[in-house]
Amino acid sequence: MEKNAIITGASKRIGKAIANHLATKGWNLVLHYNQSGKEATDLQNKLSLKYPHQNFVTVKANLGETKDTNELIISSVNEIGTLNMLVNNASIFEESDIKATTSELFERNIQINFSSPFFLIQNFAKQTQNGVIINIVDTRITTNQNSHAAYTLSKKALWELTKMAAFEYSPNIRVNAIAPGVTLPPPGGSENDLWQMAEKIPMQKPGGIDPILKSIDYIIENNHLTGQLLFCDGGENIGKR
Ligand SMILES: NC(=O)c1ccc[n+]([C@@H]2O[C@H](COP(=O)([O-])OP(=O)(O)OC[C@H]3O[C@@H](n4cnc5c(N)ncnc54)[C@H](OP(=O)(O)O)[C@@H]3O)[C@@H](O)[C@H]2O)c1
């Protein structure tokens, strides 16, 4: 099987770590970005130097726009060939409880975090007979925490979509999800904030990105696994101390 993957939001943070990791495993990569064009090109150059026999391309798309979303898979296939893996990682994380949520904020979160993965999955499935899809959700989907209401609802919906897509596209395409917990501070936040957030979770410390990368390996290697959710949250989903 060709090893061609697309990672959305690949230029920074968790998406970049996933890109670096998949590159070490021999994957050719479409590094999707929206605003971080420079970071995406820097990553592409770095990976191309390090792995000269693999192919790394960048593709821009605003996943808040239906047209861009609908064109992303086809533009990627034109650049790199048939895709066998889709990692739906790009996301926005906007603070707002239900009463403060405007229709614009609600629609933005649903569009970027849920509708765009929906249509990326649909378009991905049209171009391959054999593939793996990984949706990045969030351990918050197990709670009714309302501080980021539209975000959390979008990720709850993405998890439901994971199971439905796993059912519809079986046996050729496997669809699974990963739910990180306290991983990285939000942009602008500090390492200290992160440790405070982790104080009450069972493992009592932030997990970093490594558990996510190990879960990605597990999903890729276990070819009977579909419709499943792997928590990378130090046990947060079972309760806080
Ligand atoms: N960080 C954590 O601790 C944590 C915890 C739980 C779950 N997660 C999940 O893990 C994933 C990665 O988290 P992260 O913190 O690394 O994400 P992030 O830095 O907040 O965002 C990742 C990327 O999403 C892209 N993005 C945002 N709006 C977009 C748009 N309109 N169109 C296209 N791309 C857009 C951005 O690309 P550009 O920069 O190119 O615009 C951004 O670099 C997310 O799905 C998140 O929900 C993270």
SS3 230: strand
Pocket of ligand 1 (CB under 6 A): 9, 11-15, 33-36, 62-64, 89-93, 112, 136, 138, 180, 183-184
Mutate to test the pocket of ligand 1, among 32, 75, 87, 91 (most ligand atoms within 8 A of CB): 91
Predicted pLDDT of residue 36: 98
Task: Give the angle 98-194-208 at the CA atoms, nearest 5°.
Answer: 110
Q: Count CB atoms within 10 A of the CB of residue 153.
A: 20
8: closest CA among 78, 64, 67? 64
As a whole number of angstroms, the distance between CA 121 and CA 165 comes to: 8
Helix %, strand %, coil % of the chain (to 5): 50, 15, 35
- Side by side, which strands form the sheet with 85-88? 56-60, 28-33, 4-7, 85-88, 131-136, 173-180, 229-232
Ligand 1 atom closest to the Cα of residue 113 is: 45
For the chain, which residues score pLDDT lower than 70? Answer: 1
What pLDDT is attached to residue 24? 98
Ligand 1 mean position, distance from CA 183 (Å): 12
CATH superfamily ID and name for 4-234: NAD(P)-binding Rossmann-like Domain (3.40.50.720)
For atom 48 of ligand 1, the residue with the nearest CA is 180
Domain ranges (residues) in the chain: 4-234
Q: Which atom of ligand 1 is nearest to the CA of 37?
A: 40
Contact 234, 203 (CB under 8 A): yes
The predicted pLDDT at position 176 comes to 99
Residue nearest to atom 43 of ligand 1 (CA): 9
Q: Which atom of ligand 1 is nearest to the CA of 182?
A: 3
Q: Ligand 1: which atom is nearest the Cα of residue 12?
A: 43
14 C-beta neighbours (distance < 10 Å), count: 21
Q: How far apart (Å, rounded) are the C-alpha atoms in residues 230 and 232?
A: 6
Q: Which residue matches tokens 């949520």?
A: 101
In this prediction, residue 188 carries a pLDDT of 86
Query: Cβ(100)–Cβ(91) under 8 Å?
Result: no
Indicate the pairing of strand 131-136 with strand 28-33: unpaired
pLDDT confidence of residue 60: 98
Query: Would you state the pLDDT for residue 187?
Result: 81
Compute, in angstroms, the gap from residue 138 CA to the centroid of ligand 1.
12
